[in-house]
């Protein structure tokens, strides 16, 4: 009997450890992206993360989506260079460089951020939101419906080029949330 219980514990522990890790990743994302935002903004950030898991283009788990990085462009830059001196100080030849730019899907993953303090009420709320969202609690059903197709968001202080090709879903606090014009899934399939 004891070997069966031990085997069962070994099988179940990785699942609970994975669930705990996913919740921690989601809470960190909510905290770093929306700690000072209203509750709806925090839920919307969580929904974008979960919708990206469903979509699959950014990863198949919460942590994979949050840690996803991609090369956005390779471009050739031609820089004028002076080769020796000319009478008019005009560049005499050009040097070509290839630049590869890597972008994090969530800005805080590319920045040096401090971990949240356990007693910080914003961290505690981020953990609660993450727990409720991952447990499919009915607490945020209204928001789940509203943001079921949201895949992107950005600060209202910027206007990235990609946002012009998306459908605006909402503006909450300091963020704009977007969905693609056509999406092929619904939150109900999660």
d(CA 151, CA 106): 12
Residue 28 and residue 99 share a domain: no
Q: What pLDDT score was predicted for residue 72?
A: 63
Q: What pLDDT score was predicted for residue 8?
A: 31
Residue 85 and residue 95 share a domain: yes
Find the largest Cα–Cα distance for the chain.
Answer: 93
- In the chain, the number of structural domains is 2
* Domain span holding position 95: 69-104
Residue 7 lies in a domain: no
Residue 183 lies in a domain: yes
Q: What pLDDT score was predicted for residue 100?
A: 76
Residue 100 and residue 144 share a domain: no
d(CA 137, CA 67): 25
Mean pLDDT of 120-127: 98
With a cut of 60, say whether residue 145 has pLDDT above it. yes
Residue 157 and residue 185 share a domain: yes
DSSP 8-class letter at 37:
S
Residue 52 lies in a domain: yes
- 164 confidence band (pLDDT: 50, 70, 90): very high
Residue 10 lies in a domain: no
pLDDT in tens, 49-79: 999 999 999 999 999 999 998 776 565 656 6
Name the pTM for this structure.
0.75
Residue 111 lies in a domain: yes
Residue 178 and residue 118 share a domain: yes
Residue 111 and residue 161 share a domain: yes
Q: What pLDDT score was predicted for residue 1?
A: 41
Residue 99 and residue 121 share a domain: no
Residue 184 lies in a domain: yes
Paired residues of 78 in beta bridges: 96
Residue 86 and residue 33 share a domain: no
- 5 confidence band (pLDDT: 50, 70, 90): very low
Residue 84 lies in a domain: yes
* Rounded (to 5) percent helix, strand, coil in the chain: 50, 20, 30
Residue 178 and residue 130 share a domain: yes
With a cut of 70, say whether residue 39 has pLDDT above it. yes
Residue 12 lies in a domain: no
Q: What pLDDT score was predicted for residue 140?
A: 87
Residue 151 and residue 115 share a domain: yes
- 130 confidence band (pLDDT: 50, 70, 90): very high
d(CA 63, CA 30): 12
With a cut of 80, say whether residue 92 has pLDDT above it. no
With a cut of 80, say whether residue 190 has pLDDT above it. no
Q: What pLDDT score was predicted for residue 57?
A: 94
Highest mean pLDDT among 58-62, 96-100, 103-107, 110-114: 58-62
Mean pLDDT, all residues of the chain: 82
């Amino acid at each position: 009997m004891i070997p069966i219980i031990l085997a069962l514990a070994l099988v179940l522990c990785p699942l609970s450890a994975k669930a705990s890790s996913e919740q921690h990743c989601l809470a960190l994302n909510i905290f770093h992206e929306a700690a000072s935002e209203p509750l709806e903004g925090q839920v919307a950030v969580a929904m974008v993360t979960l919708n990206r898991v469903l979509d699959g283009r950014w990863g198949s788990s919460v942590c994979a989506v949050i840690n996803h990085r991609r090369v956005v462009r390779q471009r050739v830059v031609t820089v004028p260079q002076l080769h020796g001196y000319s009478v008019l100080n005009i560049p005499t030849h050009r040097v070509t460089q290839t630049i590869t730019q890597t972008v994090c899907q969530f800005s805080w993953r590319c920045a040096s951020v401090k971990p949240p303090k356990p007693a910080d009420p914003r961290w505690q709320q981020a953990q609660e939101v993450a727990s409720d969202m991952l447990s499919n609690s009915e607490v945020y059903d209204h928001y789940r419906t509203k943001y079921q197709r949201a895949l992107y968001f950005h600060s209202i202080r910027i206007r990235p080029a990609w946002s012009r090709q998306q459908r605006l879903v909402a503006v909450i606090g300091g963020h704009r949330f977007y969905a693609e014009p056509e999406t092929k899934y619904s939150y109900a399939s999660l």
